[in-house]
Amino acid sequence: MSEPAPTAASPSDPSASPRPAVDPVEAFGIRPLDAYARIIDARSPREYADDHVPGAINLPVVDDAQYAEVGTRHRTDPHAAYVVGVGYALRNIATQIDTLIAGHAPHDRFLVYCFRGGKRSRLWADALATIGFEVDVLAGGWKRYRRWVLAGLDAVPGTLRWQVVCGPTGGGKTRWLAALARAGAQVLDLEALACHRGSLLGDLPGVAQPPQKRFESALFDALRRFDPARPVWIEAESPRLGRLRLPAALVDAMRAAPVVDVVTPMAVRVQLWHDDYAHFAAAPRAMVDRLAGLRALVGHATFTAWQALADAGDTGSLFERVMVDHYDPCYRRSLRQGWGDNPRLATLTLDALDAASLDRAVAALPPALRG
């Protein structure tokens, strides 16, 4: 590992910028979210799946079918809709009290919310208060929470001290971030939050990406917990991870940050591809088929060579050629466009990407760089 470059060229500390209200105590007048025995999302399962407060469980007052039925009735007969809806609600709440709530200690405190903090929240809050629990209702509900998330995503990235890890595909950047996190550094792993590796081959087998709103909730929950006085490590990413969009403020902050370059030998990169893309190592032609849209970009001869290596089962050569022919040139262009003129904090040569080797490399960093 090479010695870090001097950090004098780093931009001024953004922690001097005013911080928005990132604590629920400030934003909503409630306790820290981690202080509640349970956070209850009283909305329908479909609403919950699209987005919810991190840590909340879905105890719907009415399920999706019941919610639709009540809404349909309400258009022609509001009174009948409320009769049916409250009947459903009381039965559902009773079942959930028996199965989930009865085991709580008398001193436990709950946070409840629905879409606007209205009727569905109140039904749950009244039931819990009647039992004797302390209950807070999120005034304004999920709708207000969502405005808080969007405002935070716009404001918080510019208040943090970013250190961007740059390096070609397969260079071990994600593993490097994991090693930093094990050492107690502040790390934002966007690919983990997005459930995507950030390329044409980035889908995780059997794992769906979260909806955009839920991704933004998880992202803001991570951002708001960082200490502005300490650096936050992040991998260089494009504005999209799979089908998910990164907030513009985060992209801007990332593009303005100082850089730590990662250099990894090709043999080590090829082994990482075998480890992290084992599904393509087992079915290399499927990988080449996934890259069919690149044929016009890399040329017919190059793409045909990929196909031949895949059909021969020569995954080592295939992975290397795909990196050399496509991913490495793309990385160099992206680096010039996004981070070409940014201050360099260090160049790290990672000769091995196993956890023990990376932990030793992290331990060798100067404390100010590691954070």
**CA gap 143, 121 in Å, rounded:** 13
Specify the residue for token string 């404001």. Answer: 155
H or E stretch at 162: strand 161-166
Q: Which residues of 270-305 are buried (b: 16+ CB within 10 A; e: fewer)?
A: bbbbeebbeebbeebeebbeebeebeeebeeebbeb
Q: Which residues of 338-363 are buried (b: 16+ CB within 10 A; e: fewer)?
A: bbeebebbbbbebeebeeebbeebbe
Reported as half-sphere exposure (CB side, CA atoms, 13 A), residue 337 has a value of 8
Reported as half-sphere exposure (CB side, CA atoms, 13 A), residue 235 has a value of 26
Give helix then strand counts, H and E, for the chain. 19, 11
Specify the residue for token string 């928005």. Answer: 20
DSSP 8-class letter at 293: G
Specify the residue for token string 């956070």. Answer: 39
Catalytic residue, chosen from 114, 166, 195, 330, is 114
**CA gap 333, 326 in Å, rounded:** 11
Q: Which residues lie closer than 8 Å to 101 by C-beta, 6 or more apart? A: 38, 128, 131
Q: Does residue 330 have an active-site annotation? A: no
- Known catalytic residues are 114
